[in-house]
A and B are shown apart, each in its own frame.
Chain A
Amino acid sequence: MTEPDSTPAPTSALPPPAEIVFPEGLVGLPGLVHHGLSVVPDSALYELASRDNPTFGVIAAVADRIKPGFTKKLRERGLINEGEWVLAILAVHGEPPAVTANLAGPLVLDMKNATARQLVLEDPEFRLQEPVVEPT
């Protein structure tokens, strides 16, 4: 476990595995407050694993890699602060299955304070199921 005070200041890369608190929980899941954030082994993806419900966890990617400029747009709209990171939760939909990213409900991480929140964005540009990997 990484103590919040020892979490490095925001840089261009996400920090090592850390504990992070969503004071309001996730959208529709207010009880999921405490999470671990770790790198998925052998990947550049991140896993958010609930400490409050060990069966719950999601895999996420840096939102800007899914939609370039995403973080900048949120910052311009005053929705996130300087230095905060934005992740998009990945999911699987359709048949054949395809990977999608949730840009309508991004995760905003303040690693300096080890806190985070989930936004809900009312904007058709930010899709709930943004295609990441097309079906093969």
Chain B
Amino acid sequence: MLVLTRRPNQALRVGANIEIRVVRIEGDRVVLGIVAPRHVAVVRSELVEEVSGEVRGAADARAKLRVMLAPLQAAGADVSDPNDDPGVA
């Protein structure tokens, strides 16, 4: 791992298009400003882990989910009818 020391308002670059700037330091927290192309996802590492955990949990709950949703489907409740979905091109 590359380790660099930066002070507030100093920055570093990752490649040609990504800049990470230390905005300020608040106690044990560092506030960062990140400039990156729109297609580059910038997310907290823990969020990636949370999403991954959620996916695994969803897989484990697949059978339970089917049972829970069955009455709604039988009653005509619509949780996911895409046929008239205006948001899908």
CB distance from A130 to the nearest CB of B (A): 11
Indicate if the CB atoms of A64 and B88 lie closer than 8 Å. yes
CB distance from B34 to the nearest CB of A (A): 10
Indicate if the CB atoms of A122 and B47 lie closer than 8 Å. yes
Indicate if the CB atoms of A65 and B73 lie closer than 8 Å. no
Indicate if the CB atoms of B69 and A43 lie closer than 8 Å. yes
Indicate if the CB atoms of A62 and B68 lie closer than 8 Å. no
Most buried by A among B68, B80, B85: B80
Q: Chain B contacts of A105 at CB under 8 A?
A: 51, 54-55
Interface residues on B, range: 35 or more
Q: Chain A contacts of B79 at CB under 8 A?
A: 44-45, 61, 65-66, 99, 132-133
Indicate if the CB atoms of B52 and A92 lie closer than 8 Å. no
Question: Interface of chain A, helix or strand or loop or mixed?
Answer: mixed
Q: Given A12-B83, A102-B58 in contact, is the A121-B88 Cβ separation under 8 Å?
A: no
Indicate if the CB atoms of B88 and A91 lie closer than 8 Å. no
Q: Find the B residue at minimum CB distance from A105.
A: B51
Q: Chain B contacts of A97 at CB under 8 A?
A: 64, 68
Interface residues of B, Cβ cutoff 8 Å to A: 38-39, 41-44, 47-59, 61-62, 64-66, 68-69, 72-73, 78-89
A–B pairs, 6, beta carbons within 8 Å = A43-B69, A44-B82, A65-B81, A65-B82, A91-B61, A120-B48
Q: A28-B48, A29-B55, A79-B38 are in contact. List 17 more A-B contacts (CB 8 A).
A: A13-B83, A27-B55, A29-B52, A44-B81, A47-B62, A60-B80, A65-B79, A70-B87, A78-B38, A92-B68, A104-B54, A118-B51, A118-B55, A120-B43, A122-B47, A133-B68, A133-B79
Complex A-B, nearest 10 residue pairs according to Cβ-Cβ distance, in ascending order: A28-B52, A61-B80, A105-B51, A64-B87, A91-B58, A78-B38, A71-B87, A92-B61, A44-B81, A122-B43
